[in-house]
């Protein structure tokens, strides 16, 4: 709710200031940074890298999970037939492998989040620069992020596609 109040406050402030001075028309635009991130070429490349890491982690986790499943089945089937010290040793081994699985799982999740941030942060920063350049070039008074709580706007003030196109052109040039 605070976000909506802040956005409305910003818009009202610009509108009142503009009305008071009546020098120029307020020109407001917005960008859907989430869509820009996921549909830009750099965003797609980042997503592919993250997906590759995710698949690698999933393969390792599946292997560890299968190993745990086999150990558990062995304990359930043969546990009563084993000597107590052998059974306890196998149970400890199972518990150790289960903890290792949990630690690996948590670490993989954290690494994936860090990698995603490392890859997406520069893209977002560049998208923001390009949006500012477009805003300055086209005389916008204010450019908002759609994620700030914009519920409806006229599509004519959506600068997302233009920002993506400009970013893709710059990214293609830098990639060569």
Task: Categorize the per-residue pLDDT at 8 as very low, low, confident or very high, splitting at 50, 70 and 90.
Answer: low
pLDDT digits (tens, 9 = 90+) for 91-150: 898 899 999 999 999 999 999 999 999 999 999 999 999 999 999 999 988 888 887 777
Select, from the ranges 87-91, 97-101, 151-155, the one with the highest average predicted confidence (pLDDT). Answer: 97-101
Token readout for 118 is 């490392």
In eight-state DSSP terms, residue 158 is B
Pairing of strands 28-31, 142-145: parallel
Q: Return the beta strands (E) in 85-154 as ranges.
A: 142-145
Enumerate the β-bridge partners of residue 28. Answer: 142
Counting every residue written for the chain, the total comes to 176
10's tokens:
């910003």
38 is written with which tokens? 């996921």
* Rounded distance between C-alpha atoms, residue 114 and residue 90, angstroms: 36
Please state the rounded mean pLDDT for residues 34-62: 95
Q: Residue 107 in contact with residue 64, Cβ under 8 Å?
A: no
pTM of the predicted model as reported, rounded to 2 decimal places: 0.71
For residues 125 and 149, what is the distance between their CA atoms, to the nearest angstrom?
A: 20
Q: What does the pLDDT average to over 74-101?
A: 85
């Amino acid at each position: 709710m605070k976000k909506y109040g802040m956005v409305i406050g910003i818009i009202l402030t610009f509108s009142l200031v503009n009305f008071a001075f009546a020098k120029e028309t307020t020109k407001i635009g917005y960008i859907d940074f989430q869509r820009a991130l996921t549909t830009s070429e750099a965003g797609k490349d980042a997503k592919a890298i993250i997906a590759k890491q995710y698949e690698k982690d999933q393969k390792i986790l599946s292997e560890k999970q299968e190993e745990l499943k086999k150990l558990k089945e062995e304990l359930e089937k043969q546990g009563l037939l084993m000597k107590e010290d052998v059974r306890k040793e196998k149970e400890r081994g199972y518990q150790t492998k289960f903890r290792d699985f949990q630690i690996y799982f948590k670490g993989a999740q954290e690494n994936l989040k860090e990698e995603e941030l490392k890859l997406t942060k520069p893209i977002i920063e560049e998208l923001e620069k390009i949006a500012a350049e477009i805003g300055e070039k086209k005389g916008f008074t204010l450019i908002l992020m759609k994620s700030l709580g914009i519920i409806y706007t006229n599509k004519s003030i959506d600068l997302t596609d233009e920002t993506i196109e400009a970013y893709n052109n710059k990214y293609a040039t830098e990639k060569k």
